Amino acid sequence: MEQSQREFEKIVREQEQNIYSICYMYSRNREEARDLVQDTLINLWKGLPRFRGESSLRTWVTRVAINTCVSFKRKKSITTVDESYIPAFSEASVEAGSQIKFLHGRLQKLDYLDRALVLLWLEDMPYDEIGAILGMSAKNVGVRLVRIKNKLKTITDDERQ
C-alpha cells in the first residue's frame, strides 16, 4: 500500500468523528451529511500532498471540512430542516436526541461563521486554535462566542420552526 494512502486512512480514522460532527452541523438531513462527508474526504485526499504541517492535523482537517461545507451550502440553498433526523451517535437516548435536535435547530439560525465557532467550541478547542482555523484572533473568538450565546438565548420556539 502506498505511503500517502496509509497516511490518508490514518487521518480518516483519527478525525472521523470531527469530520462527521462538522458535516452534520452544516447539513439538513442524513443524505446531505453523507454527501458533505464524502466531499470533505475528497478534498482532504486532494489537499494531503500540500499539507505542510504548519498547523496541527486536527486544525487542517477542521478547516478543510468547514470550507467544504460552506462552499456546498453556498452552491445549494436548502430551506427545510428534516426534523426526523437524529444522528447515530445520539440514538441511545431519546432525551439526548431531543436535546441535539433542539440545539441543531437553534444553530441553523446562525450564519456559517458563527455555526463554525460554536461547533469548534463544543469540540473543546482552545480559542487560539479556533482563531487559526477561522482566521481571527483568540480574543475575537471569545467576544463572538459571548455574542452568539446571547443570540441563541433569544431565539424563540417560533423562530426555530
pLDDT, tens digit, 9 for 90 and up, residues 73-108 = 777 654 333 444 334 443 343 445 566 677 777 888
Give me the pLDDT at residue 60, please. 92
Q: What is the DSSP letter of 49?
A: G
Q: Which three cell numbers stand for residue 91?
A: 440514538
Q: C-alpha grid cell for residue 116?
A: 463554525
Which residue, 148, 152, 32, is CA-closest to 87?
32
Cα diameter, the chain: 54
Q: Quote the pLDDT of residue 25.
A: 84
Phi, psi of 27 (to 5 degrees): -105, 165
Q: What is 3-160's CATH number?
A: 1.20.140
Interval 35-44: pLDDT, tens: 999 999 999 9
